Amino acid sequence: MALNGCKKDDNNNNGIGNSTGGIVTTGQWRVSYFFDKDKEETSDYNGYVFEFKSGGGMTATRNGQTTSGNWSEGTDDGKPRFNIQLNTTDDKLSELNDDWVVDSKTDKELKLSDDNDTHTEQLHFTRQ
């Protein structure tokens, strides 16, 4: 998946801004909610621990197995984005690969959505 078209932008967008990196690079995170198209699939991510590292690396670990990848942030179409690209062939983990719109963020929660008009996708991460 190419992430071209997104550009880094440190300005605030819709009150959300692009300081997501300072939030996610602290601690470990879990998927607290995932909705894909027509059903909730949160339980598919039970047991996964996600770490977002400074510099853009990330890992997803469950049962001692670690999948690596990258994350970045930027803007596209005037919306703040949080990009995830895990290096995996696992169908469930690959569903997280996207340039997500940042809907809201706090020190403990990151709420993301896909802006695809044909179906709803939402992804929420909560700090452990």
| CA–CA distances in Å: residue 3 to residues 67, 73, 76, 84 | 19, 10, 10, 9
Judge whether residue 7 has pLDDT over 60: no
Q: What is the pTM of this model?
A: 0.84
pLDDT, residue 14, reads 34
Task: Quote the radius of gyration of the chain (alpha carbons, Å).
Answer: 14
pLDDT tens for 82-127 read 999 999 999 999 999 999 999 999 999 999 999 888 889 999 999 9
Domain of 43, in residue numbers: 21-127
Residue 54 lies in a domain: yes
Q: What is the CATH number of the domain that holds 94?
A: 2.40.128.270
| Domain total of the chain | 1
pLDDT tens for 9-42 read 433 333 344 457 678 999 999 999 999 999 999 9
First CA to last CA distance, the chain: 29
d(CA 41, CA 31): 10
pLDDT grade, residue 5 (50/70/90)?
A: very low
Residue 72 lies in a domain: yes
d(CA 17, CA 47): 30
CA nearest 104: which of 31, 26, 13, 39?
Answer: 13
> 45: which DSSP letter?
G
pLDDT tens for 48-65 read 999 999 999 999 999 999
Six token digits for residue 98: 């996207």
